[in-house]
Amino acid sequence: MQTELVKASAAAMDRAARLLAGGELVAFPTETVYGLGANALDEAAVRKIFEAKGRPADNPLIVHIAERNALEPLAASVDASAAKLMDAFWPGPLTLIFRRADSVPAIVSAGLPTVAVRIPSHPDALALIRRAGLPIAAPSANPSGRPSPTTAQHVYEDLVGRVPLIIDGGPCLVGVESTVVDMTSDTPAVLRPGGVTVEALRALLPDIAVDPAVLAPVREGAPTPSPGMKHRHYAPRARIIVVEGAPDRVAETVRMLYARADAPAAILCATGRVPCYPGLKTVDLGADAAEMAANLFSAFRMLDERGIAVAFAESTDSSGIGLALMNRLLRAADFEVVRA
């Protein structure tokens, strides 16, 4: 298959809409990461997403829409709490899980009786959905388990020959996937942290819970209603080891581990922590948690480009967007943690 990489334009949207209507895949930008989209109501087209990514069949997808009224055919019911979150955060990096309507093929939700839906805020994503006139099922546009793409070039490198069209809308601003909230139980629960923080959600719904699997492995045999819960995710080829503890002890432990490494190594840390590692290979993720989250996946790709075999990542405060950052780090490390 030939892969075409084109700048976002009206002509690109027209071509993409025709491909989606014909049961083909299109990669497109969102404010979070680039998505690999198919007509969410076309079972055969959705199956192509799983095939192109090598995605496990038990990992559900998120359906992207452009208007609130497009939710009605997808969700069996929408309660007042969900409406409150939609009023505050749609369009934006928030995905809500509802009971699935019969119109949505089971493959979209990995056979679960639920469906995950969001309205992205990226203008090119909204333009594409509106031009196609379809709900678009779209996970991140990368091979399953690898770092998510935050530029069109990342998508091309990952999926050339597997997708006919990639729309280039520039770099993604948030840089980590959307927050996922399960609205199907009495107490809504965050299943995956992302661009909308738990603190912002609790300002509207004070009782909202955080699933234990956000910072820990999913229990064996437990269902996974959200993407990014069950399988190792976001991981470079390099081995990631998270080091946590008091800052001075973390720096001391990281320097010791780096010295003992028997393969090319690097250190992932915030800008202000780089001076703790004079003469060592560091990757500066950014000055604060928001910058670090936005830069994380590009940093993972940089590790592989530079032939790094093992990277020691300093843990961060898990408040605010830091929770999303730690979730991605821990899943990329497959929960390999050293406590300093």
Report residue 233's pLDDT band, with 50, 70 and 90 as the boundaries: confident
Report residue 145's pLDDT band, with 50, 70 and 90 as the boundaries: confident
pLDDT at 57: 86
SS (H, E, C) 93-108: CEEEEEEECCCCCHHH
Mean pLDDT over each residue of the chain, to the nearest integer: 95
Q: How is domain 4-214 classified at the architecture level of CATH?
A: Alpha-Beta Complex (3.90)
Report residue 220's pLDDT band, with 50, 70 and 90 as the boundaries: low
Q: What separation, in Å, do the N-terminal and C-terminal C-alpha atoms of the chain show? A: 49
CA dihedral over 141, 210, 335, 252, signed as positive or negative: positive
Instruction: Classify 225 as helix, strand or coil.
Output: coil
**Which two three-digit tokens encode residue 188?**
């809504």
Report residue 221's pLDDT band, with 50, 70 and 90 as the boundaries: low
Report residue 223's pLDDT band, with 50, 70 and 90 as the boundaries: low
Instruction: Classify 35 as helix, strand or coil.
Output: strand
pLDDT at 56: 87
Cα dihedral 268→274→278→283 (10° resolution): 30
DSSP character string of 127-184: HHHHHHTS-EE--BSSSTTSPPPSSHHHHHHHHTTT-SEEEE----SS-SPPEEEE-S
The pTM is what?
A: 0.95
The answer to whether residues 181 and 205 touch, using CB atoms and an 8 Å cutoff, is no
Q: Worst-scoring range by mean pLDDT, 57-71, 92-106, 141-155, 206-220?
A: 206-220
Longest dimension (CA), the chain: 59
pLDDT at 12: 97
The residues of the chain that CATH labels 3.90.870.10 are 4-214
pLDDT at 259: 97
Report residue 32's pLDDT band, with 50, 70 and 90 as the boundaries: very high
In this model, does residue 234 exceed pLDDT 90?
no
CATH of 239-339, one of 1.10.1040.10, 3.20.20.100, 3.40.1280.10, 3.40.50.11030: 3.40.50.11030
Residue 212 neighbours by CB distance under 10 Å: 11
Give the tens place of pLDDT for each residue, 240-285: 999 999 999 999 999 999 999 999 999 999 999 999 999 999 999 9
The residues of the chain that CATH labels 3.40.50.11030 are 239-339
Which has the closest alpha carbon to 24: 11, 35, 37? Answer: 37
- Element housing 63 (H / E): strand 62-64
